[in-house]
Structure 1
Amino acid sequence: MKRLYQGLMAAAKAHARWDYETSMNILKDKRKLCILGIMLLPIILGSIAFATDLPTVLGGKKAYAPAFYTPFIFLVSILIGLCAGLITGCIGAGGGFIITPALMSAGIKGILAVGTDLFHIFAKAIMGTAVHKKLGNVSVGLAVAFLAGSIGGVLGGGILNRFIYELNPLLSDVFISIVYVLLLGFLGSYAMIDFLKSRKSDIGGDVHGGPSTEPGLPARLQKAHIPPMITFDEDLVPGGKKISAWFVAMCGSIVGFVAAIMGVGGGFLTFPMFVYILGVSSFTTVGTDILQIIFTAGFASISQYAIYGFIFYTLAMGMLLGSLLGIQIGALTTKVVKGVYIRGFYALAILSGFVNRLFALPGKLGEMKIIPISPGTAETLTMIGNWGFFVVISIFAIWVIGTFFKKIKVLRGEA
């Protein structure tokens, strides 16, 4: 379990580095900033002028549609993106884990939160990723086989999400919440244990320990000669390593399936699978992982959510705007803050997302008549989960931004 946690955190850090680089590519390019401004202008003007004229039906289920779109909701989306960006930039690990829970807490249905988050990832990728910089780290054979599998997984995950939503929108929210409860509970527990150990020894640094590869499953899979075979890591091992494309595609299908259900790029699963199951080096894994995130998020957002009306474009653009600012502030703040404190906030942020989704479940299960619970109790639990989540994230954001402005002279001196 510890190795799995290390792999997940290593993947989160790799994704954060890509996210930061992508954001910087946008912020440093006047042409891209101009395009972003043009994309945002009609959204801002439209939300102010025509907020009350928007239809109540979104996704085909009137009773479970999001609230009317208002300038306030657009502001909330910017703040959610800002907080996710602060976590990514300051902690060096992906802040995307909090986006779907945050959107659901703000009143957006789970399937819309998933589709919107995927589109937000894809929009940022196509605007800011400099793919040519990463091609040296990419194994083309691994990438093709993995993407072939991830496309199948995305189709399965998207179809399942939409099927559950059409069956019962409440069941859809329950399903997505349970997935997040399991993932965030696991990650949050290990992150808090990691923080407490680091606090005792007062050691800062990275959010994770580097994963190590050992003989075992990877060696057995690489010995199984099932054509077609893929050669990789030629620069690190004489003659390279070989593995069947079928094993790579199976891993890709799992990543695509989970990504389409949760609304994430899937990078947090790709890293441990490549390193611990397939035996791929971390060097090759990072480049291939970034490539798959772009294509997996793009295919999932367009083919499984956009064409079915399950993307809130205005929210996606608001999150993009907020995250661009948050990542830059967060990355600069790490220069003047001890790593051990950042790790503590990261653990709290993940655990608050876990509590948020956990406390939302009783009310939804009660509405479905699965468990007996009074409406008042369900509402109280949901409110506690929402307030706890947003208070923790807000304190973290205020602390980071406050530290940034307090130490701005020091940061200017370093620059």
Structure 2
Amino acid sequence: MSKFKLAGQFMMAGARAHAKWEKEMSDRILGDRKRLIILGLLLLPILLGGIVYADDLTASLPAILGGKMAYSPAFYTPTIFFASIGIGLGAGLITGCIGAGGGFIIAPALMSAGVRGIMAVGTDLFHIFAKAIMGSVLHRKLGNISVSLALTFLIGAIGGATVGGLLNRTLYELNPVLSDAFITTVYVFMLGFLGFYALMDFFKSRRREASAGAGERDVQAMTALSKKLQSVSIPPMLHFDQAVVPGGRKISAVFLILSGALVGLAAAIMGVGGGFLTFPIFVYVLGVSSSTTVGTDIFQIIFTAGYAGLVQYAIYGFIFYTLAMGMLLGSLIGIQVGSVVTKVVSGTTICGFYAVAVLAGFVNRFFALPSKLAAMGYLDITTQTGRILEQIGIYLFFVVISVFSLWVFWVFFTNLKTLKRKPDAKAVKESGGH
């Protein structure tokens, strides 16, 4: 049980860290006129009716974009675009209101809407990359980016993303249903573990706010594992955190490369950018301070998501640009509304909603799996039974997310006066809590 709890804390810390990254990117994009203009230029072709027709596009591009593909690289219908805004909005509301990564539901939502798993992964990666490249500041913000750690980590991340992308594409070439089943299975295990842990945490503790900083470890503290890894001397050794502890710390580049490979693999397979794994790995496993981790994580997300999205999926036609831009727009709005609602909602309620939202994604993928296994001959059920189970999962998922979204907007609009008077949390902190 202790190992289960530790693993749950590990994943929750990553989910919260990725949510903070999402909020920061959203604030930068919406708070900068130039970035808003760039966003508008990206959305303009879609709003005007699409860039080109799918048939014309595939006819004029090299074979690498064609072949055995389920979709063309980009096309447009109003229904698809507005549906993607809704998906992004729901994910953004979860991220902003709950303070944990709502991006976990994007790929399951896209697959439930009829998009192939590999297309959902590629599209989500491109959406993350677009948000990162628009919202990030590439300079060494506050000196918190360790270039040596980031570049070494990226060596492994690029290798892992290459393997993950190749695995997804190979499975898809063998059998598109097999590809969907593989991605669905990964999400079943990940969402199931995270959702049940969050639910247990919700029932066991009513003092959620006190434990909300699980990912914000004392920069001086290290786990036994991180101490052990830092004691292993395998050259080359990388030095970091000189400004945090006297003399700094050091760790073998081998561990950075292996960690990067794991993150890149997960990012390319699941389409979540890898940010939810980077933070807990750096802090809990490698013993890097929180401040250095945050800056380095922002830096690596751009390159990991960019490489995985563009090199492993885009050039093969596995990105649905219309969906990506719709999700970007929806998530920017959702994050802002959700983060404001936290000022009038208790932490316990928020924790409960997060558990329900993640478990809805788990149920959705769990109910979708039998039909895919039956289609490959691994499960003896009728096509109709499999379809009914899948529909049940889809309805439950979208009902839960829709109810949650409506609840957040209801709280937002019914508390507008209170929210306007409510002091900003940062201002309260700076004034000593008075």
Residue 89 of structure 1 deviates from its aligned partner by 0.7
Q: TM-score, normalised to structure 1's length?
A: 0.93
Check if 1:34 corresponds to 2:37: yes
Which residue is equivalent to 1:216?
224
CA distance in 1, matches of 2:14, 2:417: 33
Q: Note closer, same or farther for the CA distance 1:226–1:43 as it changes in structure 2 (3 Å cut).
A: same
CA distance in 2, matches of 1:283, 1:290: 11
Which residue is equivalent to 1:94?
101
Aligned partner of 1:29: which letter? D
The 3-state SS of whatever aligns with 2:228 is: helix
Q: Note closer, same or farther for the CA distance 1:68–1:118 as it changes in structure 2 (3 Å cut).
A: closer
Residue 68 of structure 1 deviates from its aligned partner by 8.0
The 3-state SS of whatever aligns with 1:265 is: coil
Q: Work out the number of aligned pairs and report it.
A: 413
CA distance in 2, matches of 1:49, 1:280: 47
Query: Could you report, residue by residue, the CA deviation over 1:149-176 in whole angstroms, capped at 9, with x for unpaired residues?
Result: 1011111111111111111100000000
Instruction: Map 1:130-141 to 2 at 5 A.
Output: 130-132=137-139, 134=141, 136-141=143-148
Identity of aligned residues (%): 63
Aligned partner of 1:282: which letter? S
Residue 274 of structure 1 deviates from its aligned partner by 1.6
CA distance in 1, matches of 2:359, 2:51: 35
The 3-state SS of whatever aligns with 2:342 is: helix
CA distance in 2, matches of 1:244, 1:50: 51
CA distance in 1, matches of 2:207, 2:216: 22
Query: Could you report, residue by residue, the CA deviation over 1:239-272 in whole angstroms, capped at 9, with x for unpaired residues?
Result: 1111111111111011101110000111221122
Which residue is equivalent to 2:116?
109
Residue 54 of structure 1 deviates from its aligned partner by 8.7
Which residue is equivalent to 1:225?
233
Does the 8 Å contact 2:215/2:280 carry over to 1?
Answer: no
Residue 40 of structure 1 deviates from its aligned partner by 1.1
Residue 207 of structure 1 deviates from its aligned partner by 4.3
Q: Note closer, same or farther for the CA distance 1:223–1:206 as it changes in structure 2 (3 Å cut).
A: closer
Unaligned runs of 5+ in 2: 60-64, 424-434
Q: Note closer, same or farther for the CA distance 1:27–1:393 as it changes in structure 2 (3 Å cut).
A: same
Residue 70 of structure 1 deviates from its aligned partner by 2.2
Higher mean C-alpha displacement, 29-38 vs 210-219: 210-219
Residue 217 of structure 1 deviates from its aligned partner by 2.7
Instruction: Map 1:303-322 to 2 at 5 A.
Output: 303-322=311-330
Check if 1:160 corresponds to 2:157: no
Check if 1:8 corresponds to 2:11: yes
Residue 215 of structure 1 deviates from its aligned partner by 5.0
Unaligned runs of 5+ in 1: none
The 3-state SS of whatever aligns with 1:227 is: coil
Which residue is equivalent to 1:20?
23
Query: Could you report, residue by residue, the CA deviation over 1:176-210 in whole angstroms, capped at 9, with x for unpaired residues?
Result: 00000010011001000111122xx3554564634
Instruction: Map 1:398-409 to 2 at 5 A.
Output: 398-409=406-417
Which residue is equivalent to 1:282?
290
Instruction: Map 1:9-88 to 2 at 5 A.
Output: 9-47=12-50, 60-61=67-68, 69-88=76-95
CA distance in 2, matches of 1:331, 1:192: 21
RMSD after superposition:
2.5
Q: Note closer, same or farther for the CA distance 1:55–1:378 as it changes in structure 2 (3 Å cut).
A: farther
CA distance in 2, matches of 1:358, 1:65: 28
Which residue is equivalent to 1:334?
342
Q: Note closer, same or farther for the CA distance 1:343–1:208 as it changes in structure 2 (3 Å cut).
A: farther
Higher mean C-alpha displacement, 30-39 vs 65-74: 65-74
Check if 1:263 corresponds to 2:266: no
245, 250, 264: which one pairs with 2:253? 245
Q: TM-score, normalised to structure 2's length?
A: 0.89
Does the 8 Å contact 2:165/2:268 carry over to 1?
Answer: yes
